[in-house]
Structure 1
Amino acid sequence: MRIRQIAKRDAPNYIALCKKLDQETKFMMLDPGERTTNLKEQKRFIQSLLDARNSMVFIAEHEDRLVGYLGAYGGEFRRNRHNAYLVIGILQQFTGKGIGTALFTEMENWAKQAGIHRLELTVMTHNIAGVSLYKKMGFTIEGIAKHSLLVDGNYVDEYYMAKILS
């Protein structure tokens, strides 16, 4: 397993990974078929990440195949530039193998060098594996967003979680 920063050449495989995650799990934001990003847009997005000082996507590769990612998206303004909002996705067949921990470890090393002080994320309250991973990585629950998502016709609550980097 290899963890590294995303590169523009990863654009087609990254789109494919995200579309597969949309199909595999109800824990991602988009429903299957809702993701419409094309290759040109994805390359432009990746370049904007590479140009930004406080945003990055880390990818997990297994035998030249992308199997997971962790995006850290930094604030745009002086008052929130020290924050990064996180999004993670790992293919189902690769969960429980330490990939999430490895992605978080790599991202935190980068975040400290990038001047990120606060990491934050949201997670569906019934995503037991996700909540467990985030707590293991030092995140705490700061609050609950009631009925924040509508999944398969049902309202779902989310935890707001954060971690302060020293």
Structure 2
Amino acid sequence: MRITPKKYHEHYHIRSATENDAKTLSEVRLQIDGETEHLDREQGEAYISELGFKQIIKDDTEHMNHLFLVAEVNEKIVGFARCEGSSLKRTAHKVEFGVCVLKKYWGYGIGKNLLKESIRWADAHDMKKMTLSVLETNQTAIKLYEKYGFEVEGILKKDKRLSDGNYYHTILMARFHG
């Protein structure tokens, strides 16, 4: 599925990903994975190549319950978000949301606006439930998700081991529509 591009301030805009973005997305994802422990992967793990991203973008464009958005600053991709739905009838009413932004661009509302556009799309397409997972240490993200109607559904205890050697919980959150 695609959205109409939207400009935020004069600094950046959000649009649907195209297959031409695949190489850059592969590079940006690899960089982001090395900048934060808030995500599931360490840098280089579960690497997605340009070809892999082309297939993801193609699939997300063709499926009505998938969305792949990118945020650009001066025509450079600095972050992205995905909503991935299921083809199974029993779970076709929900999508899973994920987002990441280059650390250099944190604090500009990019993640928030990727979330808002994803929510707008999900509501417009009558998705009854959006889910996400967030590490307990990412309090900024948790507060943002709560502000936009997400609630805690569960906790995966001692789910992630970070570089300090300690184990942390993953918070499962959901937002309901309709």
For normalisation by structure 1, the TM-score amounts to 0.94
Aligned partner of residue 79 in structure 1, secondary structure: helix
Hey, what does 1:165 align to over in structure 2?
A: 177
Tell me, yes or no, if structure 1 residue 3 matches structure 2 residue 14: yes
1:36 Cα deviation from its structure 2 partner:
2.6
- The superposition leaves residues 17-69 of structure 1 with CA deviations (integer Å, 9 ceiling, x where unpaired) of 11111010011111112133222222112101111110111111001111111
Conservation of the 8 A alpha-carbon contact between 1:6 and 1:59: yes
Residue 72 of structure 2 is aligned to residue 61 of structure 1: yes
Q: Which residue of 1 aligns with 2:167?
A: 155
Q: Distance in 1 between matches of 2:177 and 2:106?
A: 25
What corresponds to 1:26 in structure 2?
Answer: 37
Residue identity (%): 27
Shift, 1:150, TM fit: 2.5
Amino acid at match of 2:44: G
Whole-Å separation in 1 of the counterparts to 2:91 and 2:105: 34
Which residue of structure 1 lines up, in the alignment, with residue 142 of structure 2?
Answer: 131
Comparing 145-154 with 4-13, greater Cα deviation is found at 145-154
Residue pair 2:14, 2:70 contacting (<8 A) in 1 also: yes
Quote the residue 2:122 is aligned against: 111
Q: Do 1:54 and 1:115's aligned partners in 2 also have CA atoms closer than 8 Å?
A: no
TM-score by length of 2: 0.88
1:92 to 2:103 alignment: yes
- The CA distance in 2 between the partners of 1:36 and 1:88, in whole Å, is 16
Measured in 2, the distance between the counterparts of 1:37 and 1:145 equals: 26
Give the alignment's Cα RMSD to 1 decimal.
1.3
- Name which of 74, 79, 86 aligns with 1:75: 86
How far, CA to CA, are the matches of 2:125 and 2:68 in structure 1?
A: 13
Inter-partner Cα distance in structure 2 for 1:165 and 1:103: 18
Q: Once the 2 structures are TM-superposed, how far is the Cα of residue 159 of structure 1 from its aligned partner? A: 0.8
Letter paired with 1:162: A
Between 1:107-116 and 1:24-33, the stretch displaced more is 107-116
- Secondary structure of 1:45's aligned partner: helix
SS in 1 for 2:42: coil
| Partner of residue 122, structure 1 | 133
Paired residues of 1:68 and 1:89 also in contact (CA < 8 A): yes
| Residues 84, 95 of structure 2: 8 Å contact kept | yes
